[in-house]
Structure 1
Amino acid sequence: MAKVVVFDADKTLWDHYNISEFVEPLKRISTDEVEDSTGNKLKLFPHVRSSLQELKRRGFITGMATWNLPEKTSQVLRTLELQDFFDVIISRPFPYKFIMLGDILIELRRRGLNVRREEVVFVDDRRIHFGNVWLYLPGIQCMEMWHDIQDHMDMFKILEQED
């Protein structure tokens, strides 16, 4: 049974492909939209906020593993007021999601939470990241956003099947 859900960010939670390009200052232009000083915008995909709220309500541990500059990730999450939905955020300037997922597991253990890999679900829009996850962290369930699940609320159908 899953206890932890970890998300990629770009093109998984929001529509922008690379928030590391964003230039300060950032401003919130609506509940789910941010714009940078050069006019770059990002918008949360439908149901992202409500699915994060529901995960927390159900007692899931939530994480983020994203290939972005850490300060940009923090700025976007703060601006959208999403940072409190994530228990662990790993943002690195490299694409190795299996390393980030390993760092999340280490951090959870450091906090006294003994989570097994079989209890982790990883949601990313790019299947290319799954190979090394399966190789180095077998047991983690990977879901491809927009393929395995079409909407953020769809993940609950899969999570409920595991109960």
Structure 2
Amino acid sequence: MLIALDLDGTAWDHLDISSLYPPFRRVSPLKIQDSRGVEVALRPHLPDFLKWAVEDGHILTTLSWNDFDVAYQALRAFEIDKYFHYLAIEPHPRKDKMLYKLLRQIKAERGLDIDPRDVVYIDDRDIHIQEIWENIGPVRFIHFGRDVKCFLEIIQLLNPSPRS
């Protein structure tokens, strides 16, 4: 399964990481600060979720409308960049185009033709999902903050316990 994760408002609490001024420095396990003192908090349990996803054999990617360099520096400062197999971070809102390009890249590099039903897209807003469904297909959308409040809930959704 391919898990595509939005960053702003989803992976962390800041809504526009591109507006900040690197370098970032870690001020606590779940917080970084830019050069002007603006703090950004990582969502609790996100590192646990990312570790689970990699260990469970999923392919992880970002899917983010941002300045690549700034977002990448934030991922590195939080020390979570190592979990992602791909970084789809581009300075435009067309996440369907980013995902299309990524699926072609995965097919070329790994020989995997990922069906849209095997893509899980996690975002705190649903403004991109219609274009994704129309241009990519029926990816599974998890609306962070509405469908789930915590990344541990996503593990339960994607890996439900067998019933006894």
- Tell me which interval the TM-score lies in, with the shorter structure as reference length: over 0.9
Deviation for aligned residue 1:157: 2.3
* CA distance in 2: counterparts of 1:45 and 1:153, whole angstroms: 11
- The aligned counterpart of 2:80 is 82
Residue 9 (structure 2) aligns with: 11
Moved more, 7-16 or 151-160: 151-160
Secondary structure of the 1:16 match is: coil
Q: Tell me the residue number matched to 1:47.
A: 45
Instruction: Name the SS for the 2:142 alignment partner.
Output: strand
The within-5 A match list for 1:135-154 is 135-154=134-153
- Structure 1 ranges of 4+ moved more than 3 A: none
Mapped partners of 1:120, 1:33: distance in 2? 29
Give the match for residue 115 of structure 2.
116
Counterparts of 1:97 and 1:52, CA distance in 2: 21
Asked if 1:91 is matched to 2:78, the reply is no
Determine the C-alpha separation between the residues in 1 that align with 2:30 and 2:104: 31
Moved more, 14-23 or 97-106: 97-106
Q: Which moved more, 1:148-157 or 1:3-12?
A: 148-157
TM-score, normalization: structure 1?
0.93
TM-score between the two structures when normalised by the length of structure 2: 0.93
Deviation of 1:7 after TM superposition, in Å, equals 0.3
The percentage of counterpart residues that share the same residue type is 28
Which ranges of structure 1 fall in alignment gaps of 5 or more residues?
none
Unaligned 5+ segments in structure 2 are: none
RMSD (Å), alpha carbons: 1.3
CA deviation digits over 1:105-135, x for unaligned, max 9? Answer: 1121121222221110000000111110111
Aligned to 1:32: 30
| Deviation of 1:75 (Å) | 0.6
Measured against aligned partners, the alpha-carbon deviations of 1:76-126 in whole angstroms (never above 9, x if no partner) come to: 111111111101111111111111111221121121222221110000000
Distance in 1, Cα, partners of 2:98 & 2:133: 13
User: Residue type of the partner of 1:131?
Assistant: Q
Q: CA deviation at 1:4?
A: 1.1
Q: Paired residue for 1:104, among 97, 102, 105?
A: 102
SS at match of 2:104: helix
Q: Which amino acid aligns with 1:92?
A: E
